[in-house]
Chains A and B, each alone.
Chain A
Amino acid sequence: MDILPQLIVSGLATGGVYALIALGFVLIYKATHIINFATGEFMMIGAYFCYTFMALAGVPVLPAFLLVMVCAAILGFLVERVILRHMLGQPVISIIMVTIGLSSILMGLAEIIWTSQFKNLPPMFPRAPLNLGVAVVRSNLAYGFLISMAAVGAFALIFKYAKAGVAMRATAGDQMAAFSMGINVKSMFSLAWALGGIAAALGGVIIGAIGGISPILGGVGLKIFPVVILGGLDSIGGAVLGGLIIGVLENLAGGYLDPFFGGGVKEVAPFVFMVLVLLFKPYGLFGKEEIERL
């Protein structure tokens, strides 16, 4: 069997999950202009929530998913309220470092609560792999992709039609104007963090279902930076496209270049690609160019 379609299809599937995680990042950035370096740790915590509900408490799949989403929303809300609210208007360096510190706290806590042992989520999808004719996709990956795309679609619809979504977009566009139109800007920040937390946690559950969970699962979160840079920091469509591109790219690079470098190309290829993009487009492919005035 030819390897190329296989690589592309599984790359697309992985890319869909990346898109969901990147969406969590973009939601928060769009509304609050905070760069959340703890996105990966939100994922990891989400996966552990799922583990706790399903493996330890024996909750069935669907209610467990709902519970994970509720918990992740509460976590996002708390983080915004307790820590990030104080950082409004601070320089970029401080905000970046606060979220990095936060990621460290979450990682340590996860290790204290759930220990550093590698854990497997209980099987939650039918086991039969999906055969697409040209390629075969592992069932976890295929269902993960479907769930991701459904979630991304749901978020896009919320943003486009729901009242809260419209208010969030207004806040992203111009905080002052939104405020004067009677939108509660602060609660929009909380909402953005809650939604961002949900998106990341769902992504974490899917990634965890594919590869197992451990406190260092959050490392996957670093990969969303190439994704969001590629797609532009404040565009949901860009995040999806960027996710798919990066997913395919890393799979192709891993499949074809690994023999020459002795492995590990998959991890570094997205970053190399991102540097190349940034060389020519300093604000990413679809990013909004910032115009500064004195």
Chain B
Amino acid sequence: MRIGDFKETYAADEAVFRTPTVRFWLYLLGAAILVFPLLAGEYLIYMANITAVAVVGAVGLNLLTGCTGLISLGHAGFMGVGAYTSAILITKFGVPFILTLPLSGLMAALCGVIVGAPSLRMKGLYLCIATLAAQVILEFTFVHWESLTHGIRGLNVPAPTLFGLSLASGPVFYYVIMIVAAISVTASRNLFRTRVGRAFIAIRDRDISAQLMGISLFRYKLYAFALSSFFAGMAGCLMVNLLKVVTPEQYPLHLSIQYLAMIIVGGLGSILGSILGAIFMTIVPELLRSALGLFQGLDPQIMSYLFPLQTVIFGALIVGFLVFEPHGLAEMWRRAKAYFRLWPFEY
């Protein structure tokens, strides 16, 4: 049983991973991620890829919504911007995939700043509706800027290569995605040890107080928008290179809502929460599909209920978590840990 929380050096106090136990489990997780594609089949690798991309996107949205308190319904739009940037750079200009990754992030960040700048005077509901408008306008642009985006037919992207090495097969691209996801998570974890991250939290807790303490609201809200869209853009870039095609239907308003659901289910303002939420919300529909598949023998029509059931469960999860567990999975995880740490005592 671990008791108390005392440290002898500043280095220990500042460490991201506080104890050897944490570090041990983390190395184990890293090893598991490395070994996973050797053991898993095509389908599982694909699921892992999708989940990791969702992690990148959710971490980005959590920076904006969870940590800075600015709700955004335009996240899918920014992902779309990243996806289209990557696809256009690759197909029209022959830029290598690895270069398009930061470039699509930057492009999305630029869009984020353009949307964010006028939104800085608004908050709460008005901001929410302004970002909704951004989503609608971006979707319209994807469909109707025919010369660049090929409209609803979308763009096909060749298999990505890295230094002449083909990344076509699942396992290789899996590592690329995992590295990007790991970097994203680490970067945002570290962000909250810096001035910028703390300014974000101050703005979320009370923006006027933050301003009085000398935090430039304008600048830091823009940072939040830019950073969040940067992550979204990278996620979009990974997505398009994973699926090798980009169409406007891949980035609808519903996806924005899905990302919001991820960070709410996972836990607003928590990095661990973004990861757990992304995993949870990607896996639950799959589990539902297999669960319904079990009953297919009884009623061949049952698969037609899959989509509406998913919709209902999706909504019920959002409502349920907000009503019963507003801090999400991260909080449940923390409580579970605390329970076992102190067992058999109450506190």
Kindly identify which residue among B140, B209, B314 contacts A104, using a CB–CB cutoff of 8 Å.
Answer: B314
Q: Which of A135-143, A162-170, A278-286 contacts B (4 or more CB under 8 A)?
A: A278-286
Q: With CB as the reference atom, state the residue of chain B lying closest to A269.
A: B140
A225-B71 in contact (CB<8A): no
Q: Which of B118-167 contact A (CB under 8 A)?
A: 118, 121-122, 124-126, 128-130, 132-134, 136-137, 140, 143-144, 146, 151
Contact call A93/B305, Cβ cutoff below 8 A:
no
Given A108-B309, A112-B305, do A262 and B144 touch, yes or no (CB 8 Å)?
A: yes
Which of B134, B309, B312 neighbours the largest number of chain A CB atoms within 10 Å of its CB?
B312
CB distance from B293 to the nearest CB of A (A): 18
Number of chain B interface residues as a range: 35 or more
| Residues in A whose Cβ lies below 8 Å from that of B308 | 107-112, 116, 215
Is the pair A109, B144 in contact by a Cβ cutoff of 8 Å?
Answer: no
Query: Can you report 23 residue pairs joining A to B where beta carbons are below 8 Å apart?
Result: A35-B128, A90-B326, A100-B257, A100-B260, A100-B315, A104-B311, A105-B315, A106-B315, A108-B314, A108-B315, A110-B308, A111-B308, A111-B311, A112-B305, A264-B140, A264-B144, A271-B136, A274-B133, A275-B118, A278-B122, A278-B126, A294-B209, A294-B212
- Point out the residues of chain A lying under 8 angstroms from B310, CB to CB: 108
SS class of chain A's interface: helix, strand, loop or mixed? helix
Count A interface residues, CB 8 Å: 49
Partner of B144, one of A105, A106, A261: A261
Instruction: Bits for A219-241, please: 1 = Cβ < 8 Å to B, else 0.
Output: 00010011001000100000000
Report whether B130 and A275 are in contact in the complex, using a CB–CB cutoff of 8 Å: yes
Cα of A275 to Cα of B116 in the assembled complex, Å: 12
List A residues at the B interface (Cβ < 8 Å).
35, 83, 86-87, 90-94, 96-98, 100-112, 116, 215, 222, 225-226, 229, 233, 261-264, 267-268, 271-272, 274-275, 278-279, 282-284, 292, 294
- Taking A97-B318, A101-B322, A111-B311 as given, write out 19 further A-B residue pairs in contact, using a Cβ cutoff of 8 Å, ordered by the A residue number: A93-B71, A97-B261, A98-B319, A98-B323, A100-B315, A101-B315, A101-B317, A102-B315, A104-B318, A108-B309, A215-B308, A222-B136, A229-B129, A268-B136, A274-B133, A275-B133, A278-B122, A283-B126, A292-B208
Complex Cα spacing A263 to B146, Å: 12
- Of A86, A106, A279, which one neighbours B118 at CB under 8 angstroms? A279
Give the complex CA separation of A104 and B285 in angstroms: 14
Chain A: CB-nearest residue to B128: A96
